[in-house]
Amino acid sequence: MGDDDEILLELTKKHLNIGLRGVPVGTCRTSFVTPEQGVHYCGYPIKDLAELRAEDVVYLLFHKELPTLDQSEAFRRELSKRGTINPAVVDVLHTLPIEGHPMHWLSIGIQTLGMYCKEDDWRSNALNLVAQMPILMALIMRIREGRGANLEASQPELGLIKNFVNLLNLPGADHEIMSKILSTFFVLHMDHGGGNLSTFTGKAVASGHAGLHSSMVAAMNALSGPLHGRANQATLEFVKSIGTDNKEDVEKFVRAELMAKRPIFGFGHAVLRKEDPRATIQLKLAKELCPEDKNIKIVQTLNEIVPTILSEIPKITNPNANVDLVSGSLLNYIGFTKPEYYTTFFGWARTAGIGAQIIDERMVLREGKGVPIYRPKYIAEGQKLRRLD
């Protein structure tokens, strides 16, 4: 039997209706996730990359190699050149209802950027979007908070994170600590294998040759669900409603949530079977930067007791912390006190990984021919052949 015929999985009926869990559907060139060690970008464990410059990690996902110093500089110059957005996007954002979730604003913002995008090139559009995201993010937050758009203040040459921090200019914020936490957040959230819901959705939509922006909007909408990216918002809301780091009180709260059949946000994962290294890295950062922060203390207590409580429930395959346990508390600490914004940061970071994976599926895989339109098979259920007579 040749390599092409290697059996990866014997499919049985028990593989149906389980969200494709464990069913191989393709290859991924940007990252892989192991149950024990979590995500690796192009072979590097995430903990080795967490403190690298965000642009260098974007380069890694797009080029599959870390850049040399010269390549790093040239790539930052390239992103800086691409980092402008049509002022008409500001007008569109001004028409959106404040009641709408920021993820919906983000989707509409990305779709609008797509309408002004003249190029028909997956790579160029993906890089443009990566370069435009800090500006779009700052605009969304400023307009929603009644602080006015300040497109003219954009300095893309500062880099992705610093331009966002400067443009946002959040009153009272420490720009240095904000940049440090956002940079780590950004690197940790860029990619997570080929099969996470948002990435899979983006690639599926791209397989029908909808453009990069339409595919990315589909991915962002997938990310906006509370079982996926919006778990970071849900976790901080959860942490705030607990309000104390007293172990007995936290345990009572968690057990009541489980009794009410509500998920314990920030715990569990479809692939991981240990604590997500992305949670471990953020816990360490929190310990260094804000050990006395009230929310961080609650998060630490949750992390001490929840895995044991969830382990009592046999159906839960992974009782450990996931990426969303800590990120909201860190974002809150640096001044983002409204949890509804948190998933937009996840989405911002993920545009890099999803963009790189869409390029691979459209332009590289199958000797450059690309993956054909997605069309998995569904088995008919409860439908006998019938006739109208």
Residues catalogued as catalytic? 228, 269, 324
Q: C-beta of 355: minimal distance to ligand MLT in Å?
A: 15
* Spatial separation of the C-alpha atoms in residues 189 and 313, rounded to whole Å: 29
Select the binding partner of residue 373 from ligand NMX, ligand MLT, none (C-beta < 5 to 8 A, by kind).
none
Q: C-beta of 102: minimal distance to ligand MLT in Å?
A: 19
> Does 227 help bind ligand NMX (rule: CB under 6 A)?
yes
> Does 233 help bind ligand MLT (rule: CB under 6 A)?
no
Q: Figure out which of the listed residues 142, 192, 203, 297 binds ligand MLT, where binding follows CB under 6 A.
A: 192
Encoded one letter per residue, x for contact with ligand NMX by CB under 6 A and - for no contact, window 248-267 reads: ---------------xxxxx
Encoded one letter per residue, x for contact with ligand MLT by CB under 6 A and - for no contact, window 94-133 reads: ----------------------------------------
Question: Nearer Cβ to ligand MLT, position 162 or 230?
Answer: 230
Question: Nearer Cβ to ligand MLT, position 163 or 322?
Answer: 322
Select the binding partner of residue 266 from ligand NMX, ligand MLT, none (C-beta < 5 to 8 A, by kind).
ligand NMX
> Does 323 help bind ligand MLT (rule: CB under 6 A)?
yes
Distance of CA 96 to the CA centre of its chain: 23
Nearest to ligand NMX by Cβ — which residue? Answer: 268
Judged by CB under 6 A, the chain residues 254 through 273 that form the site for ligand MLT are 269-270
Select the binding partner of residue 80 from ligand NMX, ligand MLT, none (C-beta < 5 to 8 A, by kind).
none
Question: Nearer Cβ to ligand MLT, position 183 or 322?
Answer: 322
Select the binding partner of residue 72 from ligand NMX, ligand MLT, none (C-beta < 5 to 8 A, by kind).
none
Select the binding partner of residue 362 from ligand NMX, ligand MLT, none (C-beta < 5 to 8 A, by kind).
none
Q: Figure out which of the listed residues 31, 196, 215, 351 binds ligand MLT, where binding follows CB under 6 A.
A: 196
Chain residues binding ligand MLT by CB under 6 A are 192, 196, 269-270, 322-323
